[in-house]
Amino acid sequence: MKRLLVTGGAGFIGSEFVRQALKRGYGVAVVDKLSYAGDLERLKRVSGEIAFYQADITDREAVEKVFRAERPDSVVHWAAESHVDRSISDATPFLDTNVKGTQVMLDISKNYGVQKFINISTDEVYGDLKEDGQFSETTPLNPSSPYSVSKASADMLGRAYYRTYGLPVITVRPSNNYGPWQYPEKLIPVVVLKALNNEKVPVYGKGENVREWLFVSDCTDGIFEILEKGSINDIYNIGSGEEKRNIDVVKTILQILGKPEGLIEFVEDRLGHDFRYSLNSDKLRAQTGWKVKTSFSEGIEETVKWYVDNMGWVKSKLK
């Protein structure tokens, strides 16, 4: 049985990856410091099937103990500080976790001879686009926020560790993920929570900014395709091809909930707000056969229903 070490496995996307890994027959060990956005509730259903270690990936000694105990074949590195607004308020935790933490993971993976290190990046490392065009894997990096700078740094660290030490790194750059279990600071859960409480729904600027929305299980499907079929020292974009203006996402959620658009309140725009992201994912599809299974219309219905049905969990995270 192939053994995976998954960092950030109690997070939103990481926990979906863990659940899928178990279904696919992998042995799984999870490292997560259980910060504000991490939650073992996401792994409750599979807690008896994994080895869990509460540890900060910047803690070299703690991480080394995990490697010594688990001897993973591959590492899938999800752990990260990920909220742009928080990075604008204070970049320090982003540099610590996303850069220093990634360096620790790369160093120890090198020392323990892992067969593959899947380094999860983001489409935000490319910067932004105007109305036209797409990012390919060869697009120069041009990050805008402290968050995206920290992820670009981690991204390039991984590639440097291949070049310098021969560590078998694969870099993955997904588009915006959404789905059940996302921490309620991101757009979709915020809109659901505010709308259900008949509160004003804040929308940055005029809501014209465009994101490419990828259902979380489709993203993790893509990661498995890359883990099993991807080329070492390569880069893969994972996107749905479904771009939506933020205002249209908000209106769709209000419509699903039967709430009026009058709840929308336009607020001062985010500092340095990227206008548009769009990924070309042809390479992933051509090399692995991966394809999106969940359309945005299907995924947003499922996601909104999940939040309505699990509002107790959402409110517990806001205390």
Exactly one of 26, 126, 147, 236 is catalytic; name it.
147
Q: For residue 174, how many other CB atoms are within 10 A of its CB? A: 25
Active site residue 124: yes
Q: Do residues 95 and 151 lie in contact, with contact meaning Cβ atoms separated by under 8 Å?
A: no
Phi, psi (degrees; rounded to nearest 5) at 177: -90, 150
Q: What gap in Å lies between CA 141 and CA 126, rounded to an integer?
A: 4
Catalogue the E-assigned strands of 138-245: 169-174, 176-178, 201-204, 210-215, 235-238, 243-245
Q: Do residues 34 and 54 lie in contact, with contact meaning Cβ atoms separated by under 8 Å?
A: yes
Output the six-digit token pair for 215. Answer: 């259902």
Q: What gap in Å lies between CA 38 and CA 33, rounded to an integer?
A: 7
Alpha helices in the chain (DSSP H): 12-23, 60-70, 84-89, 92-94, 101-111, 146-165, 187-196, 216-229, 246-257, 282-288, 296-309, 311-317
Q: What gap in Å lies between CA 89 and CA 87, rounded to an integer?
A: 5
Spell out a b/e string for 265-275, using b for 16 or more CB atoms within 10 Å of the CB, else e.
eeeeeeeebbe
Dihedral angle over CA of 318, 211, 93, 12, nearest 10? 50
Strands 169-174 and 210-215: unpaired
Phi, psi (degrees; rounded to nearest 5) at 315: -65, -30
Exactly one of 16, 39, 123, 274 is catalytic; name it.
123
Output the six-digit token pair for 311. Answer: 């509002």
Active site residue 162: no
Q: For residue 62, how many other CB atoms are within 10 A of its CB? A: 16
3-state secondary structure of 166: coil
Q: What gap in Å lies between CA 65 and CA 49, rounded to an integer?
A: 20
Active site residue 178: no
Q: Which amino acids are annotated catalytic?
A: 123-124, 147
